[in-house]
Chain A
């Protein structure tokens, strides 16, 4: 699976959009971009994934650049409960394929 690079930490004001970047310059054509988050002392939570088109669900939006070398996770209206570690993972979507976590980005939402 391709390697990803994320900033170690970010701050965001409550109610504002949080934009979390991820660099995956070595991504290959059959690899998807997945985002998870982990709130303190809990198991990770799936947020969203995409291949090349932008995606949106009830939690977030995922913007993938045309060359697929980077992406941005957008939380449109961050709340204090969105404070967590956010992980960007690139992997081939095959059943049984393991999920390997990098260091992630600590997002702190402040009032």
Chain B
């Protein structure tokens, strides 16, 4: 079945530094990927839609200059959290469409980011 690999699974960084999270579709091409953020005991919040070869579409209230998304190939999207602050600490999850239009999206295993 469709597999999405997300890396790293957890990362700790210092305030003011940048962190890059990778999301790869392993056995299929994904022209569209999605990035979510999840705070403890809350649901997933969609941050942005990542489109291969074009700019990402950000949800209202998400700072595009802080959360840089690059979708340079059909199998790779990256999310870079720039100038990270402790309030950016969260669980970040990517997803991609599986092969068939009616199939559900496949999700990565998530990245736990802790900013100290």
Residues of A within 8 A of B (CB): 32, 34, 36, 38, 41-47, 49, 85, 87, 93-96, 98-104
Partner of A44, one of B6, B93, B103: B93
Chain A residues with CB below 8 A from B112, complex form: 41
Instruction: Please give the distance in Å from A56's CB to the nearest CB on chain B.
Output: 16
B91 and A36 contact, CB distance less than 8 A = no
Report the interface size class on chain B: 20 to 34
Decide if B46 touches A46 in the complex (CB within 8 Å): no
Chain A binding site: helix, strand, loop or mixed by DSSP?
loop
Asked if residues B109 and A42 are in contact (CB atoms below 8 Å), the reply is: yes
Task: Tell me whether B102 and A93 are in contact (CB under 8 A).
Answer: yes
A-B contact count (CB 8 A): 59
**Does B109 lie within 8 Å of A46, measured CB to CB?**
no
Apart from A32-B102, A34-B104, A99-B95, 14 more pairs, CB < 8 Å: A36-B104, A43-B93, A43-B95, A43-B107, A43-B108, A43-B109, A44-B95, A46-B98, A47-B104, A87-B43, A93-B101, A96-B49, A96-B97, A98-B46
